[in-house]
Structure 1
Amino acid sequence: MRIKTLTLLVSLTLMSSISSTSFAAGGGGSAETDPAALQGKHFDPKGKPPSQYTIDKQNVQRATLPFEDQRDFEESKKGFIAAPTYTTIKGDDGVVAWNIGSYEYLLKGKDYDSIHPSLQRQAQLNMAYGLYEVVPGKIYQIRGFDLANMTIIKGDTGWILFDVLTSKETARAALAFANEQLGYRPVVAVVLSHSHGDHFGGIRGVVNEEDVKSGKVPVIAPEGFMEHAVSENIYAGNAMTRRMQLTYGTLLPRNPHGHVDQAIGKNISSGEIGLIEPNRTVSKDIEEITIDGVKMVFQNTPGTEAPAEMNTYFPQFNAFWAAENVTGTVHNIYTLRGALVRDALLWSKNINNALYLFGDKTEVMFSSHSWPRWGNERVKEVLRTQRDIYANLNNDVLHHANKGVTINEIHNVYKPPQSLQSNWAAHSYHGSEEHNSRAVLNRYLGYWDANPATLMPLSPRDSAPLYVEMMGGSKKILAKGRELNKQGKYLEAVEILNKLTLAEPNNTAAKDLLADVYEQLGYQKESVALRNSFLASAYELRHGIPEGASPKAGSPDMVRAMSTELMLDYLGIAMNSTKAAGMKFKINLITPDNGEKFVLEMSNSTLTNIKGYTAKDADLTVTANRADLEMIMTGQSTFEKLAQSGKVKLDGNKAVLGQLMSTQEKFDPRFEILPGTKKTH
């Protein structure tokens, strides 16, 4: 294999390995704006309106939920200073990165039966757009410019920014608007609360990397930030990206029958994502830092909403910043796009620590999402509510598990106590009671329900034909499915129609009927994760996987932030082991500029690596600076060019490098999930 071809494979393999999951969720582009939304019309010619069963369920919610509690609406408006005259934010290339105006239909004062009433309420609250004052003359927030908020603290000489949105475009616009309204001040520090991209991705829009590297501008993050900011989305990145298209509804039009909200904000911008390595780390459980006259008490909360995350208390202002740990909604214990299961009990304990550390002293609590809560009693109420809902989820699920309820039953059994159901801050807009309860049980007991029949089940597409045959064939199943659909027995209809579509993936009538059922279930769900999953799946069943579903590859910043070991690990994942049959070789990799060395070994159709060693019997030794490897990985240079210039040295059998790369596969980001939805050309 020629070196040039090998370079292309390296670049494609590694750039495609980074999931956009945490970094791009359907962005701001005007292409996703639906003109029919303001009239409440469906965006899909095959789409159906809410059934009478769905309408009846929505009316029950309207009659029983505590809509008389208007405190969230009052608090979401408090401190408003100004909103921009524009509703779209464009990048340097003229492409729209953000468009809050595409959700204008939510502000028309109409109740939509295609949206769960509680979710519509949350979606309206998340329409806050502009600059808000949190602590008079000291703390401000820009809301509605991205999924997260940018918090702006006034120091003695400049701004301290807490979380800087997802993309350069929105962060730059947010800071410019704040300077326009409040008077220009330089950025003197940036605090990154945790390792998710909607909180750090906009950093290049607010600071220069040179100022960070020189120490002129401190960038503060919790211990483990860099590791987790990158690693969470690498190993299963392609699968996460594909699943994100369903669970985040990234390709659904903004429409009462489509995308309405992302629970903790409207959506995620689709601009340029950056990452600059922090130059100061918070490593202690409680750590006090003063910058530009502002005293900050950091509370490390690892293993909560993110593996690396921290809250902050401001003693001068009696203000508590809860990062993404307390946002007035039940978050994901298991993120459906894919991620390690979180610890609901640890999450609850960290909120409890915050309550006892800072609760009695706090007069305003704000976070990197949603809106602040003012007054000491109100702050403690929300802290207790969020503490209790996570603890209740953990404890009650395990209570039922210890009585024999399995992972395949718990979502039909677990319900929070009525006192929590009556409090808006305990509602599951981001997570859901259904998938979170299963996640808790999975964390402690795993996926097996202890029935031997489920230990090694047939693959669904192998078992489905047997079910179809035993049910009397597709005509009988379709007839029963239509009957169940008309009766509003949607889950029962899913049970049989799913089997039919798996057995007969080209059965359009079956797929269309299943889509109709999924659509009604989506309308009924309070959680955006469930709503989006059902509605996006309905669209794919009707029309196939949408064209243009391939997301952006990882940004150069993310590639540079990957450890060399992580990159080499990923080569083992991207390898098709059948293509490696019979291969046996060792490659030394030496990167002099950072003092690293590795051995890659191919044996038994498996690629392994070990750091800190070189093999005396290596077939090939590759010597290249890590910085030059990054040029290759981001497509800015090639092995061929670097070898010609002497920056890459290959000693030994160069053919083994070609063998290695011949095993690598670039994953299809549009792989089929629902049967019969992959278009063939």
Structure 2
Amino acid sequence: MKRKKVITLITVALAFTMTVCGSSTAIAASELTAESKPATQYTIDANQEVYALLDFEDTAEFENATKGQIASPDTLDIYDENGKLVWSQTAYAFLDQDAPDTANPSLWRNTQLNHIYGLFEVTDGIYQVRGYDMSNVTFIKGDTGWIVVDPLMSVECAQAALALVEENLGTFPVKAVIYSHSHVDHFGGVKGIVSEEEVQAGNVQVIAPEGFEKHAVSENIYAGTAMGRRASYQYGTMLEGGETGSLAIGIGMGQSKGKTSYISPTLEITQTGEKHTIDGVEIEFQLTPGTEAPAEMNFWIESKNALWMAENCTGTLHNLYTLRGAQVRDGNAWAEYIMESLALYGDKADVVFQSHNWPHWGNDTIQEYMTNTAAVYKFINDQTLLYINEGYTETEIANMIQLPEELEKVWYTRQYYGTVSHNSKAVYEKYMGWYDGNPVHLAELTPSDYAQKLVEYFGDTDAVLEKAKEDFAKGEYQWVAQITNTLVFADPENTDARYLCADALEQLGYQAESGPWRSAYLCAAQELRNGTNTDDATRSSGNGDVFSHMTPDMILDYLGILVDTTKIPDLTFTANLILPEGNYVLRVKNGVLLYQKDTQDADADVTWTTKRAGLLSIIQKNAENVAALIQQEGDETCLTRLMDAVTVTSDYKYFNIIEP
């Protein structure tokens, strides 16, 4: 499916004009306005080079993505109960053409693949709904009903997927839900599939790997506000789909914007090799902690020779570090667990399927697919460590490291989601931390202070901008973005700096093969031009269900995070906390909250008796509920002063990223 691009006479003339007339003419092609710009000749040339690197005649992944398709609606728009659009494949109808100049043709191809949506048969008795959310939902037919694996991110999307299954395969009860790992796009839609009441009544099992709830809750809560804001850049939720807007993110078309839900597991898998028969289907589980998620598992269905690889194999290079922010993942362990899967099941598998993208069939193909996937993570881990020991810094390694040529040309290891560059930085951070050994970086100035001092040294900002315009005309977009963003941090009102920075970021976005990199570049350009996007309709509907499932320990940990110690540096007290789940002692030392479990202090300043709802009221800073739900004996000013220092992080959910 190689797409040969024809350079028009106009484009040739433009290139000639740029060469003959110098930078001034080229600068005019990039007027400093708030409008989106077309691709420059440098971007066009960079994207053309991709055709020489990759074999666009190879259609194997298209064949895998369409194999077994049972049904697909002509259009797919999913709305919530208030009429908000939470998911759309219709928005990507423009993909039925060659890659435009404003898109990396490899990412365009991946977007075309992710636009293949609907209900698919994986093998006899196993079905997937793909393209109805960022992730896939899998339906395994048991003796009497469905085993549902990874019920998407949004309730509305899960409901639509279930409706598609029932329309084409009949209506059967859901007997079990399996969460493969602790990321929200694999459990958030669960209440679109089953109800909490069905689970509590014992009619539906909810199965997850050991440690699932701890990680599912903590990741979405402790740094949830910051992750949510950064996720809007990573997934491009503020962008419209289009030739100059959002494309696929490598593991799907993007992030749905519906309601997320949560139901606690009723069964935890605690060891590899553990087998359970669910509605007549025997499933053998393989734990893979610390790979793509802190709690994750693959599974094997021997009766169908089918191997589920969760998100450990995804048909793209994944993230050892995800741009929204998360714990760094272990590339070495990731590779080892894939190789363990091969050793356990690889010689018997007829199909490998997963929670993103499409399955792969045939044992020879599976062996190669899994080996190549393991190899890229092992390469990044090992090569980065080699360079570390040769004395190179994080940024130097990120600019040096490149996959071996044969692995680089494999379609399913391309950098559509993660990149070799930022994954190598993850390995550096895992082993070496943020410090590169240069003491100049021990106590660096803040970005704004650094920018202001730099501007003082420049002396003439206008002269810097003129030089930046000249470098833009040379196609030096990374440098232009860096230097103009420095000017923005020194003076956010410098409109020319903002617009030139946006123009440079936009060209970087047009060239990016990684969907999240494209999204981040284009979101940043959008906010430089138009200001920070504060439209709630561009985000998912929050994590209230997850919030309500926090254990007392998690609530107390989160309370410690929310307390602004600088507001109460002199506050020191001891409180006994009596809960149905057990007793605690809270020791607040100069505003720092510490706690001990299963104990009480006879000399405590105050005793609080309550339920979890009372603790949650403190976090929510709801004084009325605190008064109604918490019984106090002793010094009541302790709680009042502590609550005064609680920060409502949702007030900061639209913090600036590309400017101070």
On the 8 A contact 1:58/1:117 being kept in 2, the answer is: yes
Structure 1 portions without partners, runs of 5+: 1-43, 677-681
- Counterpart selection for 2:99 from 111, 124, 133: 111
On the 8 A contact 1:407/1:448 being kept in 2, the answer is: no
**3-state SS of 1:141 partner:** strand
Structure 2: distance between partners of 1:496 and 1:45: 19
Please name the residue that 1:51 is paired with. 40
Please name the residue that 1:616 is paired with. 602
Q: Deviation at 1:317?
A: 0.8
Structure 1: distance between partners of 2:359 and 2:157: 21
Structure 2: distance between partners of 1:626 and 1:233: 19
What's the CA shift string for 1:430-485, capped at 9, x where partnerless? 11122111111111111222122222222221122332233342011101100000
Please name the residue that 1:309 is paired with. 296
Structure 1: distance between partners of 2:232 and 2:65: 29
Does residue 246 (structure 1) correspond to residue 233 (structure 2)? The answer is yes
Please name the residue that 1:555 is paired with. 543
- Counterpart selection for 1:652 from 612, 634, 655: 634
Between 84-93 and 120-129, the greater mean CA deviation after superposition: 84-93
Q: So what's the TM-score if we normalise by structure 1?
A: 0.88
What's the CA shift string for 1:234-272, capped at 9, x where partnerless? 222222222222222221111221111121011222222
Structure 1 pair 630/489, CA: closer, same or farther in 2 (3 Å)? closer
What's the CA shift string for 1:114-138, capped at 9, x where partnerless? 11111111111001211111113x1
Aligned AA for 2:421? E
Structure 1: distance between partners of 2:429 and 2:360: 34
Please name the residue that 2:653 is paired with. 669
Structure 1: distance between partners of 2:457 and 2:389: 36
Please name the residue that 1:128 is paired with. 116
Q: Deviation at 1:492?
A: 2.3
**3-state SS of 2:631 partner:** strand
What's the CA shift string for 1:380-418, capped at 9, x where partnerless? 111011010000111111111111111121111000000
- Counterpart selection for 1:600 from 583, 586, 602: 586
On the 8 A contact 2:559/2:619 being kept in 1, the answer is: no
Please name the residue that 1:84 is paired with. 73
**3-state SS of 1:497 partner:** helix
On the 8 A contact 2:237/2:255 being kept in 1, the answer is: no
Please name the residue that 2:431 is paired with. 444
Q: Deviation at 1:627?
A: 5.1
**3-state SS of 2:177 partner:** strand
On the 8 A contact 2:119/2:127 being kept in 1, the answer is: yes
What's the CA shift string for 1:607-656, capped at 9, x where partnerless? 22222222222222111122565588789xx7646856xx5422122222
Structure 2: distance between partners of 1:194 and 1:410: 31
**3-state SS of 1:233 partner:** helix
Same amino acid, percent of matched pairs: 44
Between 222-231 and 529-538, the greater mean CA deviation after superposition: 529-538
On the 8 A contact 2:232/2:539 being kept in 1, the answer is: no
**3-state SS of 1:386 partner:** helix
On the 8 A contact 2:620/2:648 being kept in 1, the answer is: no
Structure 1: distance between partners of 2:485 and 2:88: 36
Q: So what's the TM-score if we normalise by structure 2?
A: 0.91
Please name the residue that 1:191 is paired with. 178
Structure 2: distance between partners of 1:177 and 1:249: 27
**3-state SS of 2:346 partner:** helix
Structure 1: distance between partners of 2:555 and 2:614: 14
Does residue 300 (structure 1) correspond to residue 287 (structure 2)? The answer is yes
Q: Deviation at 1:499?
A: 2.2
On the 8 A contact 1:477/1:500 being kept in 2, the answer is: no
**3-state SS of 1:408 partner:** helix
Does residue 229 (structure 1) correspond to residue 216 (structure 2)? The answer is yes
On the 8 A contact 1:408/1:449 being kept in 2, the answer is: no
Q: Deviation at 1:554?
A: 4.1
What's the CA shift string for 1:334-363, capped at 9, x where partnerless? 111111110001000001111111111011
Please name the residue that 2:569 is paired with. 581
On the 8 A contact 1:559/1:634 being kept in 2, the answer is: no
**3-state SS of 1:286 partner:** coil
- Counterpart selection for 2:340 from 333, 349, 353: 353
On the 8 A contact 2:154/2:188 being kept in 1, the answer is: yes
Aligned AA for 1:410? I
On the 8 A contact 1:129/1:142 being kept in 2, the answer is: yes
Aligned AA for 1:548? D
On the 8 A contact 1:556/1:634 being kept in 2, the answer is: no
Please name the residue that 2:501 is paired with. 514
**3-state SS of 1:379 partner:** helix
On the 8 A contact 1:84/1:177 being kept in 2, the answer is: no
Q: Deviation at 1:311?
A: 0.6
Alignment of 1:404-443 (within 5 A): 404-443=391-430
Structure 1: distance between partners of 2:392 and 2:623: 57
Structure 2: distance between partners of 1:399 and 1:288: 40
Structure 1: distance between partners of 2:528 and 2:425: 26
What's the CA shift string for 1:136-195, capped at 9, x where partnerless? 3x1111111111111111111111111101122111221121111011111111111011
Aligned AA for 1:599? V
Does residue 366 (structure 1) correspond to residue 353 (structure 2)? The answer is yes
Structure 2 portions without partners, runs of 5+: 1-32
Please name the residue that 1:387 is paired with. 374
Aligned AA for 2:98? K
Please name the residue that 2:192 is paired with. 205
Structure 1 pair 642/406, CA: closer, same or farther in 2 (3 Å)? closer
Between 415-424 and 462-471, the greater mean CA deviation after superposition: 462-471
Between 525-534 and 465-474, the greater mean CA deviation after superposition: 465-474
**3-state SS of 1:81 partner:** strand
**3-state SS of 2:319 partner:** coil
